[in-house]
Amino acid sequence: MEVLQSGAGELIQPFDVDEFRAWNRKKSRKLVDKVMSEAEAIRQFVYDGCYIGTELYGTVRCPMSLAREVVRQGKKDLRVCGQGVLELDLWLAAGLVKKLDITYIGLEVYGTSPALRRAVESGQVEKCVEWSNGAITWRMKAAAMGVPFLPTRSMLGTDTLAYSAAKVITDPFTGAKVALLPALVLDVALIHVHRADQYGNCQIEGISGFAAEMARACKRLIVSAEEIIPTQEIRKYPDRTIIPYYLVDAVVHAPYGSHPGEMAYLYGRDEAGIKEWVEMSKTAEGAQAYLNKYIYGVQGHDEYLALIGQDRLRRCVELREKRE
Amino acid sequence: MEVLQSGAGELIQPFDVDEFRAWNRKKSRKLVDKVMSEAEAIRQFVYDGCYIGTELYGTVRCPMSLAREVVRQGKKDLRVCGQGVLELDLWLAAGLVKKLDITYIGLEVYGTSPALRRAVESGQVEKCVEWSNGAITWRMKAAAMGVPFLPTRSMLGTDTLAYSAAKVITDPFTGAKVALLPALVLDVALIHVHRADQYGNCQIEGISGFAAEMARACKRLIVSAEEIIPTQEIRKYPDRTIIPYYLVDAVVHAPYGSHPGEMAYLYGRDEAGIKEWVEMSKTAEGAQAYLNKYIYGVQGHDEYLALIGQDRLRRCVELREKRE
Amino acid sequence: MVEQTYSRTELMICVAARLFEDGATCFIGTGIPMLAAMLASRTTAPNLVPVFEFGGTGAIMEELPRAVGEARTWHKGISALGICDTMENAQRGFIDYGFLGGAQIDPYGNLNSIVIGDHDHPKARLPGSGGGNDVGSHCWKTVAIMQHDVRRFVPRVDCITTPGFLSGPGAREAAGLPKDTGPAYVVSTLALMDYDAATCRMRLKATHPGVSVDEVIANTGFELLLPAQVEVNPPPSVEELRLLREEIDPEKLYI
Amino acid sequence: MVEQTYSRTELMICVAARLFEDGATCFIGTGIPMLAAMLASRTTAPNLVPVFEFGGTGAIMEELPRAVGEARTWHKGISALGICDTMENAQRGFIDYGFLGGAQIDPYGNLNSIVIGDHDHPKARLPGSGGGNDVGSHCWKTVAIMQHDVRRFVPRVDCITTPGFLSGPGAREAAGLPKDTGPAYVVSTLALMDYDAATCRMRLKATHPGVSVDEVIANTGFELLLPAQVEVNPPPSVEELRLLREEIDPEKLYI
């Protein structure tokens, strides 16, 4: 098949569809209790050098308690995709990231990420392979579909494609140029949801971001949930199950698990908490102090929440989006 | 791009992605009242020779009142995709179908379709192009994504592919063989839903079949709904909007619109009603008598429901699936 | 003990039901596979995960579905999504077994459900692939359930709709189909067949009680491989029959 | 009448807001585009359909979103789905306008948000494409909102992240990008620019009040085309400023 152009970026997580199928074949379809702590889940499934990603992102329905635990356990040489704000900033500041399939890492309203700049400009992050947000999601979608690639017209003609690992071909039906995006399977995915049962059946409220795609494009899936619900509730509303249990390896009960980010209909974002990272992360020392205070300095999520305090959490709840 | 194999089937609805984009650009994004009758909707948007399809299928959440109106108005030379039971059987029996992108047309539990056999074996249907149910849906998904094709490993090595319009190529990333499915855009799609507002925002309960894909892969979309709800209800649950208004051209209020098929959580299937078609459709004369009785012999859906009678409809309601 | 009477269909359902692996995901087609799955879930495979084409997964099958999309296919289920989710699960390797039927089957387990005769001028137009081709392409193992006669068990099917082993060893992989997939069993009204690993050809495994090997051979339109020892399938148990007749198909749709 | 005072950011927001077409679907990036969209929906474009990257469409923007995924992006919205739905809507031609920013822009409207300097050894690592490349590839028209200085308006961007007209006339189509798409306007802290149809090069359309053409040229690192007549953008109205200050950004996040 004639390739018109190939991005020069490294394919840092090559995909073999039959190998992924063989992995999925081995995953249990039995309903077994998968509830465990952040510490257990990260210890059991995240390893040095693994290819890992988080959904949705930093300030919105983000598995922050899991992301902090990754830092606490110092999992290193991580290969990471995304699309991140606070969560990937923490990993970058902690020096855990070796390679990036990068789409966007920044502080949104608050601008570029000093942690990203330090990590990349110092050479600590060895490789940045570029993709658009659409492209990285379609790469996961390809894996979720069980096909080796998906076509898109994104990235054509740009350096984004030149620094990616995409390929340009001509459509055999119409002769049009399209970019082919190689399927992406993560070694580990971290996703935060509103509700899950003990087996890992998950429900999400509001936008689904790319939860459905990422959950189907990973070998290990750690889900954290605001609430653990009885399976009867899942079976009553099977049309709300965005992530079925057989995709899930661990279920972590993490109330306020997205803090300082928001969780639609449950709590709004903690602006002061976000700004604290924005300010402290301006210097390496400040970032280290933040990690010491909120991660190394606490045993786990419970202690983190205690440190934040009920008053602040209550204020976040007051700021929640409501159905109206 | 080297093609290893091309299905011999005709591409009976060729796709041009930029032409589809230009069409979509012209569709209004304004919130305008689109409520009209079956008769108006079919008269306005369905035309002789158009490429048309229905979702979900015959006995399940199927736009039967719209399908019957197509027969009543005698729209002919239809090119049809699917995947159908009663609905496509009616069109075939009425002699409206010229070409088929066929995946399955039969009577499920009750076996093969005599109406299909008569229409195809007599040569009345000029062409049958073969696809799998997965393939036809992915063809719509390709159009919905705005790309010219999607890859799959379905159909490889079989006559299903040989009699389709798919092409086999090698994946430039791994060298594996994959089939490419050409995107499919319908001229008109008919979809029945649980609830819609006057603008066409739709909610579905239970399985979604391929409603999301088909709604995004057509030029005209006629939606029939069991209930017309205020837009406020849509805006309260935006995460339940499977079909947004800007895709929709007509909204038809059709209570029991899926009869004699079922509608999850509202009414179960009318087994006697289904068996009546199964029995009568065994001969051309019987099928004609059925069309006379239930379609030509009644003015529209209201008269059809009157003919069925409240008692039978009430029994269907008693048989509905419940959330438990 | 009392001699239990039963139909060949009832026996076929029982033999098929016993093939369900407990805890496996199984793609269930319309008809006999549904009865077999319901029987299995009440006997040997309580943790069976039924998967239905249009989006239902993990249903508790309290009542017999009459269509692969009706609400009974996701009743008290794990998920009720869409056909893409189901087919992509299969393509991704998450579906262990596929149970399906067809009008014709050949020695390599290829199935035909498109036409009898010439495709463009058929003697008989059949329903088409439906999900059959997807199931036969992507599920790890497929089980065909068939009436057993020489018109259905043929040397070459008129149209390979759903891939078995295609032309034999290595043919699936050569065509690009997923590695290590293919037909596992055929359950017919006369016997249970499996496939010879070396040749990928259909092999008699066990006859139904009261059916001779010669009767099976006489009703098979190609040379059926014979093992050293042909087993005999146990007849339906009293409990299997009770479940079938009282709980699974009380309306006698199939039995 | 009283002389109204306002900041250049406030003026930029007002000028951007006036570009929103009523009843159009608009892909809204983080920051100034959000304020402009909110202002437009309260003034000239009440039927504006805001589209946010991670799934929110048709929101009623009562409060300023601070992120493209937060609940305010689908508050009382038409749909709250996922990023695929949004991006596929764009790729399918359903999004009329895309509003975005960047660190650098060139005469053809190409935007850079990946690196300053060499990609593999950058002087400054920027956030990356995000949804920018998708928006610039698929939306019918794109509007860039930029600080105006010679470091940002450059002859060649260090890295074409989001496609403008690429190398000029015909280049987008030649690259395979959708037909009839491309940059429409640039709103800067100094002026409003459009593009010359024949050359696809950026052209000064209107200066902000109190800004001279020379000042715009002096702050542009490439030759800016000049029309026969350079207009002057109307200053913010009393009502526009009231809306911005009291309803849209009362917390002064941006203004």
Interfacial B residues in 254-293 facing A (CB < 8 Å): none
DSSP D194-211: EE-TTT--EEEEEEPTT-
C48 to chain A: which residues are within 8 Å by CB? none
Shortest distance, CA B196 to any CA of chain D (angstroms): 12
Does the beta carbon of B175 lie under 8 angstroms from any beta carbon of chain A?
no
Cis peptide bond prior to D183, omega within 30° of 0? no
**What was the pLDDT predicted at C1?**
44
Burial of D142 (0-12, 13-18, 19+ CB in 10 A): buried
Shortest distance, CA D238 to any CA of chain A (angstroms): 26
In the numeric block, the tokens 């359909």 are attached to D49
Alpha-carbon torsion, ordered B223, B226, B232, B238, to 10 deg: -60
DSSP A234-296: HHH-GGG-SB-GGG-SEEEE-TTTTTTSBBTTTB---HHHHHHHHHHTTSHHHHHHHHIIIII
Q: How does strand C97-100 pair with strand C141-146? A: parallel
Q: Locate B52 and state its tokens.
A: 């048309």
Inter-chain CB proximity D69 and A324 less than 8 Å = no
DSSP D120-155: SSEEEE----TTHHHHHHHSSEEEEEE--STTTB-S
Q: Locate A188 and state its tokens.
A: 């580990």
A57 to chain D: which residues are within 8 Å by CB? 54, 69
Inter-chain CB proximity C54 and B265 less than 8 Å = no
Look up residue D117 and give its amino acid.
G
Task: Tell me which residue in A27, A30, A245 faces C47 most closely, judged by beta carbons.
Answer: A30
**What was the pLDDT predicted at D253?**
86
CB D179 within 8 A of CB B146: no
Q: What is the DSSP letter of C156?
A: S
Distance of CA A302 to the CA centre of its chain: 22
From residue A199, alpha-carbon distances to A224, C88, D113 in Å are 12, 21, 42
**What was the pLDDT predicted at D1?**
44
Q: Locate D241 and state its tokens.
A: 């400023």
Residue D120's contacts (CB-CB under 8 Å, 6 or more residues apart) are none
Q: Locate A176 and state its tokens.
A: 């049009």
What kind and span of H or E run contains C141? strand C141-146
Does the beta carbon of A235 lie under 8 angstroms from any beta carbon of chain C?
yes
Residue A214's SS3 state is: helix
Which residue of chain B comes nearest to A175, CA vs CA?
A: B1
Inter-chain CB proximity B216 and D92 less than 8 Å = yes
Catalytic residues of C: 53
Whether C contacts D, i.e. 3 or more CB pairs less than 8 A apart, is: no
Q: Locate D27 and state its tokens.
A: 């892909």
From residue C151, alpha-carbon distances to C102, C190, C206, C218, C221 in Å are 12, 14, 21, 11, 7
Q: What is the mean pLDDT of chain D?
A: 96
Q: How far apart are CA C42 and CA C17, in angstroms?
A: 10
Which residue of chain A comes nearest to C97, CA vs CA?
A: A25
Per-residue model confidence as pLDDT tens for chain C (255 residues): 455 799 999 999 999 999 999 999 999 998 899 999 999 999 999 999 999 999 999 999 999 999 999 999 999 999 999 999 999 999 999 999 999 989 999 999 999 999 999 999 999 999 999 999 999 999 999 999 999 999 999 999 999 999 999 999 999 999 999 999 999 999 999 999 999 999 999 999 999 999 999 999 999 999 999 999 999 999 999 999 999 999 999 989 888
Does the beta carbon of B311 lie under 8 angstroms from any beta carbon of chain A?
no
**What was the pLDDT predicted at C255?**
85
- pTM, full prediction: 0.98
CB C40 within 8 A of CB C48: yes
Task: Tell me which residue in B3, B151, B205 faces A148 most closely, judged by beta carbons.
Answer: B151
Of residues D3, D10, D21, D53, which has the active-site annotation? Answer: D53
Shortest distance, CA A249 to any CA of chain B (angstroms): 25
3-class secondary structure per residue, chain B: CCCCEECCCCCCCCCCHHHHHHHHHHCCCCCCCCECCHHHHHHHHCCCCCEEEEECECCECCCHHHHHHHHHCCCCCEEEEEEECHHHHHHHHCCCEEEEEEEEEECHHHCECHHHHHHHHCCCCCEEEECCHHHHHHHHHHHHHCCCEEEECCCCCCHHHHCCCCEEEECCCCCCEEEEEECCCEEEEEEEEEEECCCCCEECCCCCECHHHHHCCEEEEEEEEEEECCHHHHHHCHHHCCECHHHCCEEEECCCCCCCCEECCCECCCHHHHHHHHHHCCCHHHHHHHHHHHHHCCCCHHHHHHHHCHHHHHHHHHCCCCCC
Does the beta carbon of B178 lie under 8 angstroms from any beta carbon of chain A?
yes
Residue A41's contacts (CB-CB under 8 Å, 6 or more residues apart) are A66, A69, A222, A249, A250, A252
B241 to chain D: which residues are within 8 Å by CB? 78-81
**What was the pLDDT predicted at B324?**
85
Inter-chain CB proximity A160 and D87 less than 8 Å = no
Share of chain D above pLDDT 70, in %: 99
| pLDDT exceeds cutoff 70 at D115 | yes
**What was the pLDDT predicted at B8?**
98
Inter-chain CB proximity A209 and D69 less than 8 Å = yes
Which residue of chain A comes nearest to B18, CA vs CA?
A: A176
Counted across chains A and B, CB pairs separated by less than 8 A come out at 97
Read off the pLDDT of residues D136-183 as tens digits, 9 standing for 90 and up.
999 999 999 999 999 999 999 999 999 999 999 999 999 999 999 999
D54 to chain A: which residues are within 8 Å by CB? 56-57, 60, 207, 209-210
Which chains border C (3 or more CB–CB pairs < 8 Å)? A, B
Residue C181's contacts (CB-CB under 8 Å, 6 or more residues apart) are C137, C138, C139, C140, C141, C142, C172
Read off the pLDDT of residues C174-229 as tens digits, 9 standing for 90 and up.
999 999 999 999 999 999 999 999 999 999 999 999 999 999 999 999 999 999 99
3-class secondary structure per residue, C3-41: CCCCCHHHHHHHHHHCCCCCCCEEEECCCHHHHHHHHHH
Q: What is the mean pLDDT of chain C?
A: 96
Task: Tell me which residue in C76, C80, C94 faces A246 most closely, judged by beta carbons.
Answer: C94
Read off the pLDDT of residues A85-119 as tens digits, 9 standing for 90 and up.
999 999 999 999 999 999 999 999 899 999 999 99
Q: Which of B150, B235, B247 should be substituted to probe chain D, the one whose Cβ sees the most D Cβ atoms within 10 Å?
A: B235
Interfacial B residues in 22-61 facing C (CB < 8 Å): 56-57, 59-61
D215 classed as catalytic: no
From residue D106, alpha-carbon distances to A324, C19, D159, D169 in Å are 45, 67, 10, 15
| pLDDT exceeds cutoff 80 at A1 | no
CB C135 within 8 A of CB C89: no
Residue D2's SS3 state is: coil
Q: What is the mean pLDDT of chain B?
A: 97
| pLDDT exceeds cutoff 70 at D2 | no
Read off the pLDDT of residues B201-214 as tens digits, 9 standing for 90 and up.
999 999 999 999 99
Helix (H) and strand (E) counts for chain D? 7, 14
Shortest distance, CA D229 to any CA of chain A (angstroms): 34
Does the beta carbon of A307 lie under 8 angstroms from any beta carbon of chain B?
no
From residue B273, alpha-carbon distances to B71, B261, B270, B294, C221 in Å are 18, 9, 5, 11, 39
Which chains border D (3 or more CB–CB pairs < 8 Å)? A, B
Shortest distance, CA C121 to any CA of chain B (angstroms): 7
CB D182 within 8 A of CB D200: yes
pLDDT band at A7 (very low <50, low <70, confident <90, very high): very high
Task: Tell me which residue in A1, A178, A324 faces B148 most closely, judged by beta carbons.
Answer: A178
Task: Tell me which residue in A113, A210, A324 faces D82 most closely, judged by beta carbons.
Answer: A210
Q: How far apart are CA A23 and CA A199, in angstroms?
A: 19
Does the beta carbon of A16 lie under 8 angstroms from any beta carbon of chain C?
no
Does the beta carbon of A20 lie under 8 angstroms from any beta carbon of chain B?
no
Q: What is the DSSP letter of D60?
A: -
Residue C98's SS3 state is: strand
**Cα distance from N-terminal residue to C-terminal residue, chain C:** 24
Assembly ipTM: 0.98
Task: Tell me which residue in A121, A134, A157 faces D131 most closely, judged by beta carbons.
Answer: A134
Task: Tell me which residue in A30, A216, A238 faces C92 most closely, judged by beta carbons.
Answer: A216
| pLDDT exceeds cutoff 60 at A265 | yes
Q: Locate C162 and state its tokens.
A: 């759903």
From residue D2, alpha-carbon distances to A221, A285, C64 in Å are 62, 50, 79
CB B115 within 8 A of CB B93: yes
Q: Which of B101, B160, B204 should be substituted to probe chain C, the one whose Cβ sees the most C Cβ atoms within 10 Å?
A: B160
Q: How far apart are CA C9 and CA C16, in angstroms?
A: 10
Q: How far apart are CA B160 and CA C166, in angstroms?
A: 12
**What was the pLDDT predicted at B1?**
65
CB A312 within 8 A of CB A270: yes
Read off the pLDDT of residues B208-261 as tens digits, 9 standing for 90 and up.
999 999 999 999 999 999 999 999 999 999 999 999 999 999 999 999 999 999
| pLDDT exceeds cutoff 60 at A170 | yes
What kind and span of H or E run contains A142? helix A133-145
Inter-chain CB proximity B158 and C133 less than 8 Å = yes
Residue A35's SS3 state is: strand
From residue C12, alpha-carbon distances to A250, C35, C142, C240 in Å are 40, 10, 16, 12
Task: Tell me which residue in D76, D79, D88 faces B146 most closely, judged by beta carbons.
Answer: D88
C-alpha closest to that of B29 among D25, D21, D87, D75: D25
